[in-house]
Amino acid sequence: MTVRRKLLIATRNAGKLHEYCQLLADLPVEVTSLEEEGITEQVEESGQSFVENAVQKAVEYARLSGLWTWADDSGLEVDALGGEPGVRSARYAGPNANDEDRYRLLLQRMRDVPRGQRSARFRCAIAIATPDGRVEVAEGSCEGKITLSPRGEYGFGYDPVFYVPEYGRTMAELLPEEKNKISHRARAARVAREILCRMLDGG
């Protein structure tokens, strides 16, 4: 029988935390957060890739908390902008910017890019680390296009300007249960779930 284990989700983003809680709801883990654990330290994301940043966060927060830790790094890559904002997605419009500031800046920088050249993808890397130094990584992506203007009330981040062709809607127009089937985070999380289950079973 699998023992229920406390799992720290190392994010301060309420939207991400909620999504992961839903995605992990049926596993034998007790999800906790940085806030609940009283962890105020900020781990610098100095990696050159989503995987490097996810691993940095997972390893450091596992060390600080003494708990198994699930951390991610994710972002948007726009082909017409040479892959920007990439690993800088959360910091794209400066340190005090909000989600709308970031996607408005993106739209402004793409104002002269024609419809047929607005391809983009969301990428996500998830790292699971244990306090004794074990680390496992999962990745996921979702292809789409950048819209000319924001649409939709759901989601967060760049969701209002990310059009998903297979649904004919932006990510922010998808219901949460729809997004949780096809998002980059959901795809990475499905792989990470399998890894976590194996780790919980002692594999």
For 162-189, the pLDDT digits (tens) are 999 999 999 999 998 899 889 998 899 9
pLDDT, residue 1, reads 42
For 29-43, the pLDDT digits (tens) are 999 999 999 999 999
> Looking at 72, 73, 132, 201, which residue is catalytic?
73
Q: If 0-12 CB within 10 Å is exposed, 13-18 middle and 19+ buried, where does residue 40 land?
A: exposed
Highest mean pLDDT among 20-24, 118-122, 197-201: 118-122
For 77-99, the pLDDT digits (tens) are 999 999 999 999 999 999 899 99
Q: 41 or 4: whose pLDDT is higher? A: 41
| Residue 73 annotated as catalytic | yes
Q: Which range of residues forms the domain containing residue 161?
A: 5-200
Average pLDDT over every residue of 117-126: 98
pLDDT, residue 60, reads 97
Q: Where are the alpha helices (DSSP H) in the chain?
A: 14-23, 50-65, 99-109, 176-182, 184-200
The CA R_g of the chain, rounded to the nearest whole Å, is: 17
Cis status, amide bond into 176, omega within 30 of 0: no
Bridge partners, residue 138, by sequence: 126
Report whether pLDDT(23) > 70: yes
For residue 13, give the CATH number of its domain. 3.90.950.10
pLDDT band at 3 (very low <50, low <70, confident <90, very high): low
Structural domain count, the chain = 1
Task: Tally Cβ neighbours within 10 Å of residue 141.
Answer: 16
pLDDT band at 16 (very low <50, low <70, confident <90, very high): confident
% of the chain at pLDDT higher than 90: 79
pTM of model > 0.75 = yes
Report whether pLDDT(68) > 50: yes
Average pLDDT over every residue of 52-80: 97
